[in-house]
Amino acid sequence: MTENQTWVTEFILLGFPLSLKLQGFLFGLFSLFYAFTLLGNSIILGLIWLDSRLHTLMYFFLSHLAIVDIAYASNNVPKMLANLLNKEKTISFVPCIMQMFLYMAFAHTECLILVMMSYDRYVAICHPLHYSVIMSWRVCTIQAVISWACGSLLALVHVVLILRLPFCGPHEINHFFCEILSVLKLACADTRLNQVVIFVACVFILLGPLCLVLVSYMHILFAILRIRSGESRRKAFSTCSSHFCVVGLFFGSAIVMYMAPKSHHPEEQQKILSLFYSLFNPMLNPLIYSLRNAEVKGALRRALWKERSM
């Protein structure tokens, strides 16, 4: 720590220790998944932008979710794909810190956006007569801005606490991107403060929002069961079930990753969990909303029919 200390200027991302053939196969597979992620979320954004029937507050939040998913995947996946082909899997210190900041900012923002979406559905189904008063465009815009701002500020707190730590070797990150827990293992100083802040942030950004979502959906379920019209009940179940699937996938994988005891999850298993919410979640979200949401499917059919008629 004193005489032979060497300061780290770059890290090596170990990624997945696989054969060259398997790495080539994964490069093709993950490239396909990444393309589907960009295409699916872009289609969702395009439909919301072009179809006036989707110019509602629910799809306003869904457009933000699609933007977050595109940005989240684009922050982690391209570097992972490049490392699957390159022998030198290095990343400089500053880009590593930037990658860490962006992935945490987008992850935090997605948590808060999902909470706003569940609250929107709660008000729409449980208090339909007061919906336009409670959930005005001004209120929803403020909610979206707060979600982005809080997500970025929380990520900034983590980054500032990491920058106070010395990194003097080893410089090998046992992950496919600069994930905060993997980077902390390389610090040659006490990281207890960082660990406490991460746990508190998880309680605030994961457990708290998840509890709010579950309470909202309990009220929504009781309200749906009281609906007499079968068509209205099916429509309510369609929109809410798709959102609940997205919530379950995202919060479930994140809680297992950051709040479960680490002894129960070896490092290779943690990489798979990270891969799930870095690549698979952003790819599955537009599929869930398009397959289970009648309004999105209707907008897609109208867009395709309009294209054919031209």
Report pLDDT for 261. 65
- For 150, the token pair is 């809080």
Question: Whole-angstrom Cα distance, residue 51 to residue 297?
Answer: 12
Report pLDDT for 96. 93
- For 186, the token pair is 């390389």
Report pLDDT for 262. 60
Report pLDDT for 265. 53
SS3 300: helix
> What are the residue ranges in the chain where pLDDT is below 70?
1-7, 169, 230-232, 235-236, 238-239, 261-266, 291-292, 306-310
Q: Residue 138 CB: number of other CB atoms within 10 A?
A: 8
In this structure, CATH architecture of domain 10-309: Up-down Bundle (1.20)
Q: At what angle do helices 208-225 and 230-258 cross, to 10 degrees?
A: 160
> Minimal CA–CA distance to 220: which of 197, 201, 247, 193?
247
DSSP state for residue 130 in the 8-state scheme: G
Task: Give the domain ranges of the chain.
Answer: 10-309
Residue in this structure with the two tokens 């099916």, named with its chain if needed:
234
- For 241, the token pair is 């079930």
Report pLDDT for 3. 41
Contact 178, 97 (CB under 8 A): yes
> Minimal CA–CA distance to 79: which of 176, 183, 8, 173?
176
